[in-house]
Structures are given as structure tokens and as C-alpha cells.
């Protein structure tokens, strides 16, 4: 069946039939204009779920940094820029949205880049009951502030010489590398933020 929108003026019977059934040429245009500007309402369940998932990712990242500060970083404090873990969690959700299992199929390797050397901090498995379909490598970066190394130099010479007195300051920049595990073309996506 093919529908066309052309009516010729040679057939006045068909036009009068349309007018009798309530069709007015202007009403069709108004109906189309109305639907062009209607924005679908967001699914509140999805919004709540995504926000909850984002917050749990933020907690996972903060726990990873907290555990690593004494064991792998040898410092007493890690200063994280405001909303850095929130931005990372949102990017992780965005990168996982195109995957068959979503975030559940993600394995995340968390690293810290200090003076062009990457130090492994942790491996986060989002759902151990799902076979991973992709890997994300998150690389935090250390802030390049000269005053922190200057301060650490002076404190290391006096009574504050303990290695655990050091404060690590993270940069607001980070790198996310996505690697698909089961892809014929082996797609890798690198995002520098």
C-alpha cells in the first residue's frame, strides 16, 4: 500500500469528501508542528537508577584511592579536586552505555601517573557474575605544583621525615582508555580529560 499526499483540483469530489470527514488542510500542518516540538518526558526510574549507579561508582573510586594511599602510594593524604570522581563516573557510564552488558560487563584498571610512570592502584570488577565484555583503564594524574615538592623537601629534613606525612595532590585531568574484549575489530577508545 502506498499513500500519497497529492490531490488534484480536477477531482472536487475527493476534496469535498475529505472536508465532510473533518479534514482541514491547516489542521494537518498544526498537528505535525505540535508533535515536532513535543519533548518526550524522561523516564524517572532510569534517571534515579543512573544517579544511584553514578554515586556507587564514585564511592568505588574513592575507596580505591583511600586503600591505595597507605599501601601503594606511601602517603597520608590524597587531595582530590572537587567533583573529579563524579566526572569520571559519568564518563564511565557514558562509555559503558554502548556495551551489551552495560556497566556490569566492565573491568576497570585504576592507575596513577607520577612523573611519566604509571603505578597500578587497583582493579575494580563491576559485577563478578558477568563475563567482562570491555576493560577501562583509568589514569589519574598527579598535580604538577612546584610548591608541594618544595614543601615536602623541607618537611622531609626535620621532625616530619616520616614517609607517611606526604600529601599527594591529584590533577583535575585524567585519561580513560576503553578496550573491547570481544570485538572482531578490537576497538580501543582513548579519552583524555
Q: Is residue 91 part of a domain?
A: yes
Round to whole Å and give the CA distance between 67 and 112: 13
The yes-or-no verdict on residue 143 having pLDDT over 60 is yes
pLDDT tens digits for 56-84? 999 999 999 999 988 898 888 999 999 99
Q: Is residue 161 part of a domain?
A: no
Round to whole Å and give the CA distance between 27 and 92: 46
Task: Give the CATH number, domain containing residue 129.
Answer: 3.90.470.40
Listed in sequence order, the residues at least 6 apart from 155 whose beta carbon sits closer than 8 Å to its beta carbon are 161, 165
- The pLDDT, as a whole number, for residue 112 is 95
- The pLDDT, as a whole number, for residue 187 is 65
Q: Is residue 27 part of a domain?
A: no
Q: Is residue 20 part of a domain?
A: no
Exposure string (b/e) for 62-71, b if CB count within 10 Å is 16 or more?
Answer: eebbeebbee
Domain count, the chain: 1
Q: Is residue 17 part of a domain?
A: no
* Enclosing domain of residue 151: 44-155+166-192
pLDDT band at 157 (very low <50, low <70, confident <90, very high): very low
Round to whole Å and give the CA distance between 110 and 62: 11
Q: Is residue 160 part of a domain?
A: no
Round to whole Å and give the CA distance between 55 and 156: 37
Q: Is residue 94 part of a domain?
A: yes
Amino acid at each position: 500500500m502506498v499513500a500519497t499526499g497529492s490531490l488534484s483540483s480536477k477531482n472536487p469530489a475527493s476534496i469535498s469528501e475529505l472536508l465532510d470527514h473533518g479534514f482541514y488542510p491547516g489542521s494537518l500542518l498544526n498537528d505535525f508542528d505540535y508533535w515536532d516540538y513535543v519533548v518526550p518526558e524522561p523516564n524517572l526510574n532510569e534517571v534515579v537508577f543512573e544517579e544511584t549507579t553514578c554515586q556507587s561508582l564514585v564511592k568505588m573510586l574513592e575507596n580505591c584511592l583511600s586503600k591505595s594511599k597507605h599501601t601503594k602510594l606511601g602517603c597520608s593524604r590524597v587531595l582530590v579536586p572537587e567533583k573529579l570522581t563524579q566526572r569520571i563516573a559519568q564518563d564511565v557510564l557514558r562509555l559503558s552505555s554502548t556495551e551489551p552488558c552495560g556497566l556490569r560487563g566492565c573491568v576497570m584498571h585504576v592507575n596513577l601517573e607520577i612523573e611519566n610512570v604509571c603505578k597500578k592502584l587497583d582493579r575494580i570488577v563491576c559485577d563478578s557474575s558477568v563475563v567482562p565484555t570491555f576493560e577501562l583503564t583509568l589514569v589519574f594524574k598527579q598535580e604538577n605544583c612546584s610548591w608541594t615538592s618544595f614543601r615536602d623537601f623541607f618537611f622531609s629534613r626535620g621532625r616530619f621525615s616520616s614517609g607517611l606525612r606526604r600529601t599527594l595532590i591529584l590533577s583535575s585531568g585524567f585519561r580513560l582508555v576503553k578496550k573491547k574484549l570481544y570485538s572482531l575489530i578490537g576497538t580501543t577508545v582513548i579519552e583524555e580529560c
